[in-house]
Structure 1
Amino acid sequence: MTGNDTDSPPVTVSFLGGLGEIGRNMATIEVDGRLAVVDVGVLFPDAEHLGVDLILPDWSSVKDRADDVEAVFLTHGHLDHIGALPYLLRDLDREGVPVYGTQLTIAFVEAILEEWPDLPEPRLEVIEPAETIEQGPFTVEAVQVSHSIPDGVAYAFRTPHGLIVHTGDFKLDQTPIDNRPTDIAHFARLGDEGVDLLLADSTGADVPGHVATERTVGRNVKEHIAAQKDGLIVVASFASHVHRIQQVLDAAAEVGRRPVFVGRSMVRNMGIAQELEYLDFDHDSVVELHEVDRYDRRQLIVISTGSQGEPFSALSLMGAGDHKHLEVGEGDLVILASSLIPGNEQAVYRSINNLSRRGCKVVHKGVAPVHVSGHASREELLLFHNVVEPEYFVPVHGEHRHLRAHGEIAEQTGALPEHVLICEDGDTVVLEDGVVTRGEPVTTSHVYIDGLLDDVGPALLRDRRRIGEDGICVCVVAVDTHDGGVVGDVVVTQKGVVFHGTEEDILEQAKQAVDRELASLTRVKFQDPQVVQRHVVQALGTFWRSETGRRPFILPVVREA
């Protein structure tokens, strides 16, 4: 396969997120100096990200070229692909940036943007599978794919130097709930045309076999719901798993249970999905959360967020007995109908244990087939590569083990080893006349969002981690910068370094260590409070290491008397 002879500059693909982890998916494709952004996702923090709410890609290289951004192409409506879009639109600071996506994806984007009223308004464009989009120098074809959320698409970019296919997240479910399977025939046509570069979902590459159809989840969930004659039923799922929730609603209707939607995103997404006819149920049967006490528990099924053990989610609050409207206990059934995202294991099992301690029966994917993946497994990927037959391949969307496993699949289906490029965030590849080579890397990292703070950065996280592990020591010193010397007594306090009941003697020793250090300073050094701070830190650092073997975070406060 070869590209077209052209005088156009080479096409550059830059990976800004999603390579080496599950989440933060983002890439750019540059044609004739214009940039197409593919997905703008978030990563949710785990226990080591103390206080962090969201983690974004670092798109500083895109922000610096805001006027060159031609459009954003969204593959589907999961937050790890669309959740960072408001932050990107804010940084681009341009009205009318085109954002392409299918109907449900754009509806979810509109709901997110309602919470950002001051953003420059983008131009949201709803597309259909098989539609061709002409936008600046880009000719882009949408290809229908099946995933764990409706309305997913891949994109085929026809460039002056060859054809690039980006799959987004996909699997080869042949009997999906919406009867819209991955369009293998369309991919085959692209393969016949000649795919010069394939960028494909790798999340399931190290899982042998095939992914079971989503319908198997419905059958198993239905059995558990039908068998539960007494007590409350709670089903926890991602708020975007519309097909799964449809099956739960169907099973609930058969046994006469009325749904209660719990969780802000669940209530919002189910309303959107029903309005757009992706979800079919009797809206009059829905019980509002504040009205649950008016009904017999045997009449209700709660459909809730919190399947990942998020501390303040509805399910975690139920397990802790802290939910304002719902109480679970002996005889109740809880079904966790979702995947276990890497890094969330401890939180999920804590939630399961809390629910079990209260007497609930908890069913999860470890004990029953109540979840199937939304990502193609090994045998499906083997078939997919044989259909598409790319000349060059970069595995995307996955941890490093997934990327490596997917690279091996490409080689087993005929790709030359030197044509399989394992990349990381910040890497670029260059397509010129049908030949792909590695390009110059771009600056990228993780951007940590903490409340209203835009990027707290890895240094602050290290400080937080250090305080959590070794505690904090505060030392207050008043100095006379004119005559030189210490005014009054040095005050040393601590939190988390030593047990409160034993701190009096050791803090006195710490104070004496500071006194000795300050007594050794010349008069001129007291004229600069920062110099005094450094000596306080040195003295206390040495003291705590020798006395306790710990390295607390030391906060010196030097006041000029």
Structure 2
Amino acid sequence: MARDSRSRKKKASPSKKDGKLRYIPLGGLGEVGKNMYALEYEDSILVVDCGLMFPDDEMFGIDFVIPDIAYLEERKEKIVGIVITHGHEDHIGGLPFILPKIPSPLYGTKLTLGMVGNKLSEWAPAFTPDYREIRAGERVEMGPFSVRFIAVCHSVPDGVGLAIETPVGTVVHTGDFKLDPTPIDGRLTDYAAFSEEGKKGVLLLMSDSTNVERPGFTQSEHTLSGTIDRLFRQHRSRRIVISAFASNLHRVQQVVDAAARFNRKVVLVGRSMVKNVDLARELGYLHADDKTIVDIEDIGKVPPGSLVVMTTGSQGEPFSGLVLMSRGEHRVITLTEKDVVAIFATPIPGNEKMVSSTINRLFACGCEVVYEKEQAIHVSGHAAQDELRVMLNMVRPKFFVPVHGEYRHLVRHAKLAREMGVAPKNAFVLLNGDVLTLEKDKAVVKDRVQAGGIMVDGIALGEMQGSVLKERRELAEEGTVAVSLILTGEGTLASPPVFESRGFLHLEDAAKLREDLTVSVEKAVESLGAKAASDRELLETRIKGRMRDALRRFGRGRPMILPLVTVLGEKPLPERPRASSQGRGRRRKS
């Protein structure tokens, strides 16, 4: 499989029966997204999470990025299980592409597995997963690993942390968590379980670093109830559109409850929003009267003042419900000055520009826009500094690795751990691919494995820094010049070459450059003689070289050059068979 060029090619040697435990992060360190790691002991590997990451501005046309699992593919027969901590995309989004390559028992809570099932049915319908449903409080044996599942509070229900007993010692992974004293579903983070593990002795703690820069405690999700009520009271006669993460079912529950109190109907917009709410209602994680939820096709039957629209698009996703509304392209809902739009989320790092553009378009539609910068309509699902201190104090690990965060978050969390009593040499700031080798009284980083990212572009997989992305960058920055020429069978030009330019200079306005390019192509053809008609690859290489020389003399940039050659009398190539629509997840060939 094609790899990220930033991946290290050096591989750790296959594990030996040396009685050592290896922690191998494959994603989620120094970045927000594609969380995945492995614990390896002798001939057994336990995998935790399998997420995706949204692309940055330089990944033109890329939908998302998933972890590079070359290390696991080579050892897939050793995998005793894959554990999923919760149902967010950055923890389950890579499964449709990765699980078929390393088929293993998949452990998760009921809601988490339901959300995984929705993704697999869409992206990998032919694959049959081996689901193993678990509950918080249970313990499951997986090879040499004994995994205890610990309830944690987060912005999606049914999340768990992990206490993994190994022959070397206990490893605790918090998962994504916060210490919410008044969670919407009443399911508290299990302080007692974490404290119990701390009393028994913990070899290694891996803890969520997302909000390490925020002082104090993260506010309770319950505090938003007053904000939602105030929004409904202030705009009794207007249609209200609320955008939030489709997975934040606690927030959906609060909106549904408020709608019932204010005699409003709720319309769900966005495929993921509809799927998640239907699943949560079916499994009993979200409670809503059938009379409260209205199908989008019946929206015209409800007066605007009696309606609230719950939609996707809080991150400015191009084809989400809110973005389509902001562009005036939604098939049912048209926004006007009579609407109020509230965005109940903060931008994920990297999405700020898309969110800002969406907000600007909403203002241009004339509607009133309420967003986080203006009013307190979002609380995080991640622990802030004091909560992280509490976790460290409960678990009291010998060794510590901060996870789930950009590099500065990891550094600051390691510093916080040292302040809380972890020995300075025992707090490790790692990068994806680093191998932390643990013994009962010792931990060292001395190996690396291949770890990077795989691009997903539509239905294809490809390199992070490969030819496709390189071509897109060149097109975006320099443009392209295409030259079309017709040759006789003897290798001479049948007519003058024709040039077309896109994203570069308009050649109609540069007569001298056009003349120079024409001469360059003519010389390239003449230099090959009859071989020009038979050796297409050599001809195209010669044309590109001559045209680049002409462009360099002209002092312009370096556009992509596309020679299009037709030879008179040459038989056309046979038509390629069309790709099957079932080919999702195949690698892009460069």
Q: Give the TM-score of the pair, scaled to structure 2.
A: 0.89
Equivalence for 2:319: 312
Aligned residue type for 1:30: E
Equivalent residue of 1:107, what SS?
helix
Equivalence for 2:304: 297
Equivalence for 2:70: 60
Q: Equivalent residues in 2 for 1:490-501 (5 A)?
A: 490-499=497-506
Q: Which residue of 466, 473, 477 corresponds with 1:465?
A: 473
Structure 1 pair 70/119, CA: closer, same or farther in 2 (3 Å)? farther
Aligned residue type for 1:468: A
Distance across 2 between alignment mates of 1:526 and 1:112: 50
Q: Equivalent residues in 2 for 1:78-477 (5 A)?
A: 78-92=88-102, 94=103, 97-116=104-123, 118-455=125-462, 457-459=464-466, 460-477=468-485
Asked whether the 8 Å contact 1:472–1:495 carries over to 2, the reply is yes
Structure 1 pair 117/440, CA: closer, same or farther in 2 (3 Å)? closer
Cα-to-partner distance string for 1:18-45 (whole Å, 9 max, x where unaligned): 1111111111111231111100001122
Report the CA distance between 1:383 and its aligned residue.
1.9
Equivalent residue of 2:59, what SS?
coil
Equivalence for 1:3: none
Distance across 2 between alignment mates of 1:506 and 1:203: 54
Asked whether the 8 Å contact 1:161–1:434 carries over to 2, the reply is no
Report the CA distance between 1:524 and its aligned residue.
7.0
Equivalence for 1:75: 85
Greater Cα shift, 492-501 or 106-115: 492-501
Cα-to-partner distance string for 1:424-456 (whole Å, 9 max, x where unaligned): 111111112342111421112211111221225
Greater Cα shift, 101-110 or 483-492: 483-492
* Fraction of identical pairs, as percent: 38
Asked whether the 8 Å contact 1:477–1:490 carries over to 2, the reply is yes
Equivalent residue of 1:311, what SS?
coil
Report the CA distance between 1:457 and its aligned residue.
4.1
Equivalent residue of 2:374, what SS?
coil
Report the CA distance between 1:405 and its aligned residue.
1.1
Distance across 2 between alignment mates of 1:546 and 1:128: 70
Cα-to-partner distance string for 1:337-374 (whole Å, 9 max, x where unaligned): 11211111111111111111111111111111110111
Equivalent residue of 1:12, what SS?
strand
Asked whether the 8 Å contact 2:491–2:525 carries over to 1, the reply is no
Q: Aligned pairs, how many? A: 552
Asked whether the 8 Å contact 1:194–1:390 carries over to 2, the reply is yes
Asked whether the 8 Å contact 1:73–1:100 carries over to 2, the reply is yes
Q: Tell me, which stretches of 5 or more residues in structure 1 are unaligned?
A: 1-5
Structure 1 pair 501/231, CA: closer, same or farther in 2 (3 Å)? farther
Structure 1 pair 329/54, CA: closer, same or farther in 2 (3 Å)? same
Greater Cα shift, 158-167 or 451-460: 451-460
Structure 1 pair 159/434, CA: closer, same or farther in 2 (3 Å)? farther
Report the CA distance between 1:146 and its aligned residue.
0.9
Cα-to-partner distance string for 1:39-61 (whole Å, 9 max, x where unaligned): 00011224332221221111111
Structure 1 pair 271/486, CA: closer, same or farther in 2 (3 Å)? same
Q: Which residue of 33, 38, 42 corresponds with 1:23?
A: 33
Report the CA distance between 1:514 and its aligned residue.
2.9
Superposition RMSD in Å? 2.2
Equivalence for 2:3: none
Report the CA distance between 1:515 and its aligned residue.
2.8
Cα-to-partner distance string for 1:228-282 (whole Å, 9 max, x where unaligned): 1222100000111011111111111111110001111111111111122211111
Q: Give the TM-score of the pair, scaled to structure 1.
A: 0.93
Distance across 2 between alignment mates of 1:16 and 1:119: 26
1:14 aligns with 2:24: yes
Distance across 2 between alignment mates of 1:7 and 1:488: 72
Structure 1 pair 352/527, CA: closer, same or farther in 2 (3 Å)? same
Report the CA distance between 1:505 and its aligned residue.
5.2
Equivalent residue of 1:90, what SS?
coil
Structure 1 pair 500/524, CA: closer, same or farther in 2 (3 Å)? closer
Structure 1 pair 560/422, CA: closer, same or farther in 2 (3 Å)? farther
Asked whether the 8 Å contact 2:266–2:309 carries over to 1, the reply is yes
Distance across 2 between alignment mates of 1:86 and 1:300: 36
Structure 1 pair 434/7, CA: closer, same or farther in 2 (3 Å)? farther
1:51 aligns with 2:58: no
Q: Which residue of 33, 37, 45 corresponds with 2:43?
A: 33
Report the CA distance between 1:503 and its aligned residue.
5.4
Equivalent residue of 1:112, what SS?
helix
Aligned residue type for 1:262: V
Aligned residue type for 1:225: F
Asked whether the 8 Å contact 1:156–1:165 carries over to 2, the reply is yes
Asked whether the 8 Å contact 1:337–1:370 carries over to 2, the reply is yes
Distance across 1 between alignment mates of 2:464 and 2:483: 26
Aligned residue type for 2:227: N
Report the CA distance between 1:8 and its aligned residue.
5.2
Asked whether the 8 Å contact 1:156–1:164 carries over to 2, the reply is yes
Structure 1 pair 118/264, CA: closer, same or farther in 2 (3 Å)? closer
Equivalent residue of 1:536, what SS?
helix
Equivalent residue of 2:101, what SS?
helix
Report the CA distance between 1:75 and its aligned residue.
0.4
Equivalent residue of 2:25, what SS?
strand
Distance across 2 between alignment mates of 1:119 and 1:199: 35
Report the CA distance between 1:308 and its aligned residue.
0.8
Asked whether the 8 Å contact 2:17–2:42 carries over to 1, the reply is no
Cα-to-partner distance string for 1:111-149 (whole Å, 9 max, x where unaligned): 222225654422211111121111222211111111111
Structure 1 pair 160/526, CA: closer, same or farther in 2 (3 Å)? same
Distance across 1 between alignment mates of 2:555 and 2:339: 49
Structure 1 pair 293/507, CA: closer, same or farther in 2 (3 Å)? farther
Q: Equivalent residues in 2 for 1:514-533 (5 A)?
A: 514-519=521-526, 528-533=535-540
Asked whether the 8 Å contact 2:163–2:173 carries over to 1, the reply is yes
Asked whether the 8 Å contact 2:500–2:507 carries over to 1, the reply is no
Structure 1 pair 477/157, CA: closer, same or farther in 2 (3 Å)? same
Distance across 2 between alignment mates of 1:110 and 1:524: 57
